[in-house]
Amino acid sequence: MDQLVIEAKKRAETGKKVAKQLRAAGRIPAVMYNEKGEAVSLDVDSAAFNKVWRTITSTTLVTLNVEGTSYDAFIRATEYDIKTDSVLHADFFAVTNTKPVTRKYKVQYSGTAAGVLKGGFMVKHIPEVVIKCLPKDLPVRLVVDVSKVNIGDNLCVKDLDLGDKVTILTNPEASLVTVAPAR
């Protein structure tokens, strides 16, 4: 996936009046937090932000350019107005890529299990897996191919291959999927 870039400007003024003026000008008020807990008030272009925001997950790292300085950041939270279909505010979390982070991933399944095609039924056991790695090494999604799981087979967490830079913290013996025979 290409690195996604969001251009931002620092802002000194804060408050409701300023936020309304920014939104009227096609900008979104935002805040960037760093790992020390320090905050910087920003504003970003609404159209450019929405283009990026609608295509990412919570574990996607974006490049935040703030007046010539680049930061690797996650979009931590957004305030969204469903009536106007617009983002009202955004929070970014800038990371240094030197400390590992821990994230929970919902397990997504692809394919049809071979055992299901033979009349069995697939049982999903754990809905999410916890992993730890540097922010730049985080996978976008955790998709598991179940097409080779036969009747009586057990697909465990230890069978996942996420690369050598990712550590899985979930019990390796935990079952993700089994295919049970028809009754």
- pLDDT above 90 covers what percent of the chain? 25
Give the model confidence (pLDDT) of 130-146 as tens digits. 999 998 888 888 899 99
pLDDT at position 32 over 90: yes
Quote the pLDDT of residue 129.
93
Instruction: Report the C-alpha gap between 22 and 44 in whole angstroms.
Output: 9
Give the model confidence (pLDDT) of 37-61 as tens digits. 889 999 999 888 988 888 888 888 8
pLDDT at position 125 over 80: yes
Instruction: Report the C-alpha gap between 138 and 102 in whole angstroms.
Output: 9
Q: How confident is the model at residue 1 (pLDDT cuts 50, 70, 90)?
A: very low
pLDDT at position 127 over 70: yes
Cβ-Cβ contacts under 8 Å for 42 (sequence gap 6 or more): 8, 9, 10, 11, 29, 30, 31, 32, 66, 92
Quote the pLDDT of residue 60.
85
Instruction: Report the C-alpha gap between 125 and 116 in whole angstroms.
Output: 16
Quote the pLDDT of residue 91.
93
Quote the pLDDT of residue 29.
93
Round the average pLDDT of the chain to a whole number and report it. Answer: 88
